[in-house]
Amino acid sequence: MKKKMLVIFCCFCFLLLKLSGNIVQAEKGEDEPTNLYARSAVLMDADSGRILFGKDERRKLPMASTTKIMTCILVLEQMQEDQKASVSDYAVCQPKVRLGVKKKEQFYVNDLLYSLMLESHNDSAVVLAEAIAGTVEEFADLMNEKAKKLGCQNTHFVTPNGLDGEDEDGIHETTAEDLARIMRYCIMESEEREKFLEITQTKDYSFSNVAGDRTFTCHNHNVFLSMMEGALSGKTGFTSEAGYCYVGALRRDGRTFIVSLLACGWPNNKDYKWKDTRRLMEYGLEHYHYQKVEKKVEKIPVRILEARDERQPFLHNSVLLAEATESRDFKILLKQGEEVEVKIVKEKKLYAPVRRGQKVGTVRYRLNGETIHSTDLIASESIQKRDLGWCFEILMKKICF
């Protein structure tokens, strides 16, 4: 009887532990994504540029052909209408994957952009780079210049196609954070964003060289476009050094998310990047929704030294009221439990004169310690500087009247 009771008790304890383990796992699943294959990953809100989730997001790693989103947007922004490009010896000798261009052959730049983004042809990338900048090295300079303008502090471009490379300034590398930032520029900020989306969303594209004696057909290999509702754009990449990489965007219910993945498996794990992309996109869709931030700022008193104030002429300072240039509500993607705080930053000392509309501080809206929105604090009136002449005039008025 005692043995039977002991067995029943042990079974009960086992079931309890199993159940509690499931509960813990369920609770963990409600938080940030875990067990990602990628060594470095980011989920970004494309509207604000805020990082919603990061895994080692500032780790520098090679990015393979995801490089080509920068190549594409630079060419789109600098190409001429109906511009032609000639093939060099260097372009011909590029390794697979390649279009198969021939020396001195000519193509329309616009056509090669589809070869670049749909099939990820390495020779097409070189032809495009040389058409825009003259040499691959000079085009890399343009890429690095653009990256710095976008705030990419941990990115260095050497090649236009993403093949592993190195120069005197370092190796060809980026971070998941910077890669997401570049994609955000391509689809949200660039004047050529609509054309970029048109190219990257195209399923099939056929074209000929300028002579018309050779025809080519490109097929889009971005599986993500048919994998999730609202899939917007994306680019795959692979080298033996970088592993499988991916950067993609999704737009649904007024929300736009970007996922970037670096070092997301090696052969034979080609599908890891799709699993990670889905996991991060679903996390964003489930947990982040637009919420109205009702944080109106009332007029703030600011002390002004050496000010004229006829109401209190014998005081050496005055108080003006400052107001925010924007005091309206705004919307932001928030997760349950997140709350926006308002911080007023103003000068400790301000001296007259102060003109109406002059900036006297800043209103910062902060989330998790980071500023997500800011607006100027401006003077709502003008205040002149007191001087001996004004003081004498006030004294005379007091004596005479």
Q: Give the C-alpha separation, 150 to 385, whole Å.
A: 42
Element housing 55 (H / E): strand 51-55
With cut-offs at 50, 70 and 90, classify the pLDDT of residue 391: low
For position 373, what pLDDT does the model report?
A: 80
pLDDT, tens digit (0-9, with 9 covering 90-100), for 258-312 = 999 999 999 999 999 999 999 999 999 999 999 888 766 777 888 777 776 666 6
Per-residue pLDDT at 29 exceeds 50: no
Q: Quick one: pLDDT band at residue 341, thresholds 50, 70, 90? A: confident
Q: What is the largest CA-CA distance in the chain?
A: 114
DSSP code of residue 270: T
The tokens 């570049």 sit on which residue?
182
pLDDT of residue 309: 67
Buried b (16+ CB within 10 A) or exposed e, 223-237: bbbeebeebbbbbbb
pLDDT of 267-278, one tens digit each? 999 999 999 999
What's the rounded mean pLDDT across residues 369-376? 83
Q: How far is residue 221's CA from residue 394's CA, in Å, rounded to a whole number?
A: 81
Distance of CA 350 to the CA centre of its chain: 37
**Mean pLDDT calculated for residue range 308-334:** 70
The mean per-residue pLDDT over the stretch 51-67 comes to: 97
Query: Looking at per-residue confidence, does 369 or 118 come out higher?
Result: 118
User: In this prediction, what percent of the chain has a pLDDT beyond 90?
Assistant: 65
Q: Pick the range with the lowest mean pLDDT from 8-22, 74-88, 319-333, 345-359.
A: 8-22
Listed range (139-148, 185-194, 246-255, 343-352) with the worst mean pLDDT: 343-352
Instruction: Indicate the length of the chain as a whole number.
Output: 401
Residue of 199, 138, 126, 130 lying closest to 163 (CA atoms): 126
Peptide bond before residue 268 is cis, with ω within 30 degrees of 0: yes
Work out the mean pLDDT of the chain and round it to a whole number: 87
- pLDDT tens, position by position, 70-79: 999 999 999 9
Contact 45, 290 (CB under 8 A): no
Whether the pLDDT of residue 28 is over 60: the answer is no
For residue 20, is pLDDT > 70?
no
Convert the pLDDT of each residue in 99-126 to its tens digit: 999 999 999 999 999 999 999 999 999 9
Rounded to 5 degrees, φ, ψ at 377 are -105, 120
Across 142-159, average pLDDT: 98
Torsion-angle region of 284 (φ positive above 0: left; ψ -120 to 50: alpha; else: beta): alpha
Q: How far is 172 from 159, CA to CA, in rounded Å?
A: 7
DSSP string, 235-246: EEEEETTTEEEE
**Residue type at 43 in one-letter notation:** L
Q: Does the pTM exceed 0.95? A: no
Determine which helix (DSSP H) or strand (DSSP E) holds 340, and give its type and residue range.
none
Instruction: Say if CB 276 and CB 38 are below 8 A apart.
Output: yes
